[in-house]
Amino acid sequence: MQVLQGNGEIIQALQKIPKLQAFDKKDLRKILSCSQILKYEPGETIAREEEPDQRIYFIVSGKVRVTRHGVEIKVLARTGDVFGEMRLLSVSGRTSSVSAVDQTVCLVTDVAAMENLRKEDRVAFAAIYYMVMAEVLARRLKETSDELTRVRGELQRLKSSTGIADTVGSA
């Protein structure tokens, strides 16, 4: 992991994240006061399942693999993809592990550092992150619903092709 320096470079990286493009440089600097831009090499572990971690990650560039209990859940590769966001909703350890597939650059924000901001900055910061969270969670809920629909259809197809459909629920 390498920490990238230079406010100009960092602000440019932030402006690449679609969810943050609506904010001016002043607001982005507030985010930076609680954040770092980190670069990870391919294969490097970014977050470990079950470990406590108070950070939220935005992909600036690259690709990461998300796994749970060693099973791949998904690959994130879009600028602005977020992981670690459940930290805003729960104080438990990480629910999954994340590792870099390619060289990956992330905006890494320490949620605990938000408490050190002035009250008005904390409100603005929280508004930005909760807006992002609502969008992320809505997208993930849709993806989960789509997957559930696909799995139910496949299950129904398998039941029909094996004749199990006629016997299930007829006890």
pTM: 0.74
The answer to which of 23-32, 80-89, 107-116 has the lowest mean pLDDT is 23-32
pLDDT at res. 21 = 74
Mean pLDDT over each residue of the chain, to the nearest integer: 81
Give the residue-averaged pLDDT of 115-131: 73
pLDDT at res. 116 = 74
Give the residue-averaged pLDDT of 150-160: 91
Higher pLDDT, 164 or 37: 37
Take residue 51 and report the two structure tokens written for it.
Answer: 């470990």
Instruction: Tell me how far apart the alpha carbons of residues 87 and 84 are, in angstroms, rounded to a whole number.
Output: 6
Alpha-helical segments (H) within the chain: 7-15, 25-32, 119-162
Residue 20 has pLDDT above 70, yes or no: yes
Give every CB contact of residue 128 below 8 A, 6+ residues apart in sequence.
Answer: 20, 23, 27, 31
Residue 114 has pLDDT above 90, yes or no: no
Instruction: Tell me how far apart the alpha carbons of residues 52 and 67 are, in angstroms, rounded to a whole number.
Output: 16
Give every CB contact of residue 114 below 8 A, 6+ residues apart in sequence.
Answer: 34, 122, 125, 126
- 38-59 pLDDT, tens digit per residue, is 999 999 999 999 888 888 898 9
What torsion do the CA atoms of 89, 92, 95, 100 make, to the nearest 10 degrees?
A: 90
Higher pLDDT, 129 or 134: 134
